[in-house]
Chain A
Amino acid sequence: MSTALHLTFKEIWRNRGRFLLFSLVIALITVLILFIAALGEGLGSGNREYIEKLNADILVYQDIAQLSIAGSTLDRATLRAINNVEGVKAAGPVSFASVSIPIGEAKDPLDVSLIGVEPGMPGEPPAIQGEGLLRRSSDDAIIDETVAMVANLNIGDWFAIRTPQGNKAEFYALRVAGITTSQKYSIRPSIFVPLVTWDTLRPQASTRRSVEDLTGNIIAVQLENPWDFDRVQERIETQVGRVEAVDRKTAYESTPGYTAQQSTLATQNGFALLIGVLVIGGFFQIQTLQKVAQIGMLKAIGTPSRVVAIAILLQIIAINIVGVLIGSFLTVLVASGFPPNIPIIFELRSGAIAVGSILLMGPLGGLVSIRYALQVEPLTALKLA
């Protein structure tokens, strides 16, 4: 092992220009893979974050909506029926719309998800600053921290939202009552308003109806005993009727395009890794071919084949580690310059999986060259045959 390590270190050090150049190639592959992973995480999180963090155990959809939030409409009668189901602790309607917040003339308006919730009911996120929504109809809003940062808003500030009403855009003023954690939905940061207010603000052709006419896209349900999920889910579906009740994970995975998007990004990552394996394999294969006589000589003087193989493997691992370190540093450097509304999230788990995959692709790519080196015949290599 120590001889292999010695040979590896000396070869890399005395050819550091060549190996550094190759490390840079691996670094670029690392940047690509990490960015795709971060983009996957960012887009995935942007789609699921609100639902993932939702303070509810079951989400109820209209049965014909096929778990599409936009296609689901549930009325007050359904809400009341769900509240009457045994095992249900609380249920709150949740409605979704898109509006924008003007943030100065020089900048594009910030697109946000406008989410209507019942104050104090499942669906309303907890405020980490300020307070929650207190009244069923008010100009108060809870904004998520991304909105607060991008629009530079603090507790008590008033801000405007722009929303199409009929055939023209209207502006409405809202007050920041509370700030919550990042709660992205549909790749947009979110603001939360009482459902009654939401019904006024949401883009619509005309206004509007009585409170009793209010509908929600979905109903967020809290259970008395979360481990009683299966039985309550069945009760809701049978007792309420014409609804579909699912857990949060099923809900966000059923968001239109979510699975396809994540699969596309995973495929891209897979291809990037495959390209990495081929590039590393190609490089070390060419290098091994150039060293056939040298490997033959080493074997002829009695160097065990395993020392030759370990030396190549250590070389691959070392070059890979240097490439990954440079690539990770470059990724952090580039990412730090991105505006916060770009959906890129460097999450420890997905980052670790990406880095682990890159570190594995080196030895995998080098397997062919290691096998080739093991097969080098001293006699042939030294032209003694």
Chain B
Amino acid sequence: MNTSVEVQTVIKSYPAGTGTINAVDGVSFDLHAGEFVAMVGPSGSGKTTMLAMLAGLLDPTSGSIFIDEQDLTKMKEAERAQFRRRKIGFTFQSNNLVPYLTALENVELMLRLNNEFTPRFRDHAKELLARLGLEDRMNALPQQLSGGQQQRVAIARSLINRPTLVLADEPTASLDTERAYQVVQTMAELVHEQNRTGVMVTHDLRMVEYVDRVIQLLDGKVERILSSKADLACLANPANCQVIPGQVLGFEEFKITEAARV
């Protein structure tokens, strides 16, 4: 598997009182092309901060983040903005879409920003929306779409420019269970099909059913990385656990295979 993202000993500190506090504390991991990863952890564990640094929206205090062998931390703001629109796709928890653009226009916006607004890519945008079950809603404005449909449009937008890295911040936070499963499943399928690298921050462990790996953060550090099918299935649904039924990650009562322990 090709390594597309390398996170090397990343630290992000914030001033707190007379000292500093590390929101992310020496995190390292690699991500591969065609891999869909969930980043989980309780509030304050550093997962959103890590996601923001992966997106180039936040500078680490130290450490490096390589995407396609380019060090994001060495880039200037303008370079990072250009890098984001070419190499990174982003789905947010909310406020994903431009409210005065239709679903299709929202997806096409990435093509316009990358000067790739050609008939071929427009057709690709339509295909992508159709693939996400939105063929009848392409000309609808965001306010005319359900929450799930809006998230799917955002996923289409995040993938249209064939990015190396696709990031999603709590993409299912405002969705009901059925739509949440649909959104994550579709995202996982597209990441796999298109050989992208996907990272999803979530606190909903049921969603890990569709991911290839789970990176659990705790107090700014990588606590565990889980990749075995059994562990992921157990995490997604305690009924599948072959060991003592766990509750949630982090969580002394939850037993996982020793091999998964970092």
Q: How distant is the Cα of A383 from the Cα of B169 in the complex, in angstroms? A: 11
- Chain A residues 9-51 with CB under 8 Å of chain B are 10-11, 13-15
By the criterion CB–CB under 8 Å, are B95 and A382 in contact? yes
A302 touches B84 (CB 8 A): yes
Partner of A304, one of B81, B92, B93, B157: B81
Contacts of B78 in A (CB 8 A): 304
* Closest-CB distance, A8 to chain B (whole angstroms): 10
- Asked if A368 is an interface residue, CB under 8 A from chain B, the answer is no
Tell whether B113 is near chain A: CB-to-CB under 8 Å.
yes
Nearest chain A residue, comparing its CB with the CB of B83: A302
Inside 8 A of B157's CB, which chain A residues have their CB? 301
SS of A interface (majority): helix
Q: Name A159-207 residues within 8 Å CB distance of B.
A: none
The verdict on A348 contacting chain B, using a C-beta distance below 8 Å, is: no
| Nearest chain B CB to A343 CB, angstrom units | 46
Chain A interface residues (CB < 8 Å from chain B): 2-3, 6-7, 10-11, 13-15, 293-294, 296-305, 307, 378-379, 382-385
A297 touches B92 (CB 8 A): yes
**Are B113 and A300 in contact, CB atoms less than 8 angstroms apart?**
no
Residue of A7, A297, A300, A303 with most partner-chain B CB within 10 A = A300
Q: Collect the chain A residues with CB atoms within 8 Å of residue B48's CB.
A: 384
B86, B92, B110, B112: the one within 8 Å of A300 (CB): B92
Point out residues on B near A: beta carbons under 8 Å: 48, 51-52, 55, 57-58, 78, 81-86, 88-90, 92-96, 98-101, 105, 109-110, 112-113, 141, 157, 169
**A124 and B98 alpha carbons, distance in the complex (Å):** 70
12 contacts across the A-B interface (CB closer than 8 A): A2-B112, A3-B112, A14-B141, A294-B99, A297-B96, A299-B81, A300-B57, A300-B92, A301-B90, A302-B82, A384-B57, A385-B58
* Contact yes or no, A302 B98, CB < 8 A: no
CB pair A379 B58 closer than 8 Å: yes
Determine how close the nearest CB of chain A comes to the CB of B39; give it in whole angstroms. Answer: 13
User: Chain B residues near A305 (CB, 8 Å)?
Assistant: 81
In the bound complex, do residue A10 and residue B92 qualify as a contact, i.e. CB atoms below 8 Å apart? no
Distance in angstroms from A52 CB to nearest chain B CB is 53
Contact A297 B95 (CB under 8 A): yes
> What are the nearest 5 A-B pairs in CB distance?
A302-B85, A302-B84, A293-B95, A14-B100, A3-B112
Complex Cα distance, B55 from A6, in Å, reads 26
Chain B, Cβ-Cβ closest to A11? B100
Contact A300 B98, CB 8 Å, known A384-B52, A384-B169: no
A382-B91 Cα distance, complex, nearest whole Å: 11
Q: Kindly name the residue among B51, B81, B89 whose own CB sees the greatest number of chain A CB atoms within 10 A.
A: B81
Asked if residues A384 and B51 are in contact (CB atoms below 8 Å), the reply is yes
Given contacts A294-B95, A379-B52, A384-B52, contact A302 B57 (CB under 8 A): no
Determine whether the beta carbon of B84 is less than 8 Å from that of A300: yes
Nearest A residue (CB) for B91: A301
Known: A14-B100, A301-B90. A379 touches B57 (CB 8 A): yes
Q: Which partner residue on chain B sits nearest A383 by CB separation?
A: B93
Q: With both chains docked as a complex, state the minimum distance between the C-beta of B76 and any C-beta of chain A, in angstroms.
A: 13
A43 to B: closest C-beta gap in Å: 46
Q: Choose from B86, B99, B100, B101 the contact partner of A302 (Cβ within 8 Å).
A: B86
A15's nearest neighbour on chain B, judged by CB, is: B100
Task: List chain A residues, Cβ under 8 A from B110.
Answer: 301
Q: Which residue of A lies closest to B86 (CB)?
A: A302
Q: Which residues of B contact A297 (CB under 8 A)?
A: 92, 95-96, 98
B99-A301 in contact (CB<8A):
no
Q: Cα distance A298–B88 when bound, in Å?
A: 13
Closest CB in chain A relative to B236 CB, distance in Å: 26
The listed residue with most B CB atoms (<10 A of its CB), out of A294, A296, A298, is: A294
Interfacial chain A residues near B88, Cβ < 8 Å:
302
Given the known interface contacts A300-B57, A302-B82, the answer about A382 and B98 at a Cβ–Cβ threshold of 8 Å is no
